[in-house]
Structure 1
Amino acid sequence: MKLSVITISDRASRGEYQDLSGPAIMELLRDSFPGADIRSVIVPDDADALLSAFTAHADADYILTTGGTGISPRDITPETTEKWCEKALPGIAELLRAKSYKETPNALFSRGYAGIRGRTIVVNFPGSVKAVRFCTGLLVPVMEHGVRMLRGEGHG
């Protein structure tokens, strides 16, 4: 499986802040999918930079993003993801919000999006380490099934 992690953060992209959420996702993915090809990149909260990162990672089975899903003026991840994707996967975003709400009511302010472009599934996670660990844990059990479905495997 090919997996990409994109961290969206102005401060981390400038080296002013150490990205902790991207590495947390990568650690969980390595543990869950030994031998997987896992790449990562950090981009600023900028739609053009994020669109370029999506295009550069379009060969991945999954692109998981962290950051930029809140309601601050610089949070552009969901809109940019929706613009890049061809189809929505609302069930993923709905589940992540619903389950996250049980952990913290602040999850109501997360606007994460999930969608598909070609054979790539894109899922937005919030930017905190706690949130990405929780959300990755929810997604991992269904990731291989999603890849099989996009490849047209398992349909009788």
Structure 2
Amino acid sequence: MTKTTSTAELLIGLVSISDRASQGVYADEGIPALEAWLSSALASPWRSEQRLIADDRPSIERVLVELVDHLGCHLVLTTGGTGPTRRDVTPEATLAIADKVLPGFGEEMRRISRHFVPTAILSRQVAVVRGQALIINLPGQPKAIRETLEGVRANDGRIIVDGIFAAVPYCLDLIGGPFVETLEQVVKAFRPKSATRGKS
């Protein structure tokens, strides 16, 4: 049985994790890429809380907790800090504040990226649940962000592989978040036939 969901406005935390962007060495591209994609894909009302921070584990943990526990974000999307270098600590910070881990998201993100680059196997993205919020680590490059969320299409529009966002609305249903609808021409949200729209 699907957990009751609300019709509240979706609150999304957008977190870009980069030493140099947070220091002003160059402009952040992660949050603008996320905003642009979400604006093109979501049919439900939403707003965002945004943070640009350095690759620092205590800071990442603190921001994730703030967004979920204090500001009430239903979904948090991070970008950056998921590689194998010493400064890449986003997955460790995310796992440290998690109640549950959802391994399928990370597995699928790497599978999607492998359509484009063999180095996708070096990515360490994870997804977790904290309270009633879903937190997903995404790649750092705008193109990879879109491909991961939306999926891969052939030139004639056929879907070669679904993006991970197709599973996000139903996941939010299950953990008690708001009912989220998408624009099917961008990404089609999947819900089992037995799933019904939650009432507030």
Q: Report the TM range for the smaller structure's normalisation.
A: over 0.9
Name the CA distance, whole Å, in 1 between partners of 2:142 and 2:104. 22
Give the structure 2 partner of residue 50 of structure 1. Answer: 60
Asked if residue 37 in structure 1 is aligned to residue 50 in structure 2, the reply is: no
Name the CA distance, whole Å, in 1 between partners of 2:39 and 2:11. 11
Q: Deviations over 1:76-110 (max 9, x none)?
A: 00111000111100011101111111111111110
Asked if residue 78 in structure 1 is aligned to residue 87 in structure 2, the reply is: no
RMSD: 1.6
When you count helix as a share of all residues, which structure comes out higher? Answer: 1
TM-score, with structure 1 as normaliser: 0.93
Contact 1:25–1:136 (CA<8 Å) still a contact in 2?
no
Unpaired runs of 5+ residues, structure 2, are: 1-9, 151-162, 180-194
Name the CA distance, whole Å, in 1 between partners of 2:149 and 2:120. 15
Asked if residue 119 in structure 1 is aligned to residue 132 in structure 2, the reply is: yes
Give the structure 2 partner of residue 20 of structure 1. Answer: 29
Q: Deviations over 1:86-136 (max 9, x none)?
A: 110001110111111111111111011111100111111121111111112
Name the CA distance, whole Å, in 1 between partners of 2:94 and 2:15. 12
State the AA in 2 paired with 1:150.
I
Name the CA distance, whole Å, in 1 between partners of 2:42 and 2:142. 20
State the AA in 1 paired with 2:106.
A
Contact 1:8–1:44 (CA<8 Å) still a contact in 2?
yes
Contact 2:79–2:139 (CA<8 Å) still a contact in 1?
yes
Give the 4+ runs in structure 1 shifted more than 3 A.
152-155
Identity of aligned residues (%): 31
Q: Deviations over 1:1-24 (max 9, x none)?
A: 111110000011111111112210
SS in 2 for 1:151: coil
SS in 2 for 1:31: helix
Contact 1:4–1:40 (CA<8 Å) still a contact in 2?
yes
Number of residue pairs aligned between Structure 1 and Structure 2:
155
TM-score, with structure 2 as normaliser: 0.73
If you compute each CA radius of gyration, which structure gives the higher value, 1 or 2?
2
Name the CA distance, whole Å, in 2 between partners of 1:76 and 1:132. 18
Give the structure 1 partner of residue 173 of structure 2. Answer: 148
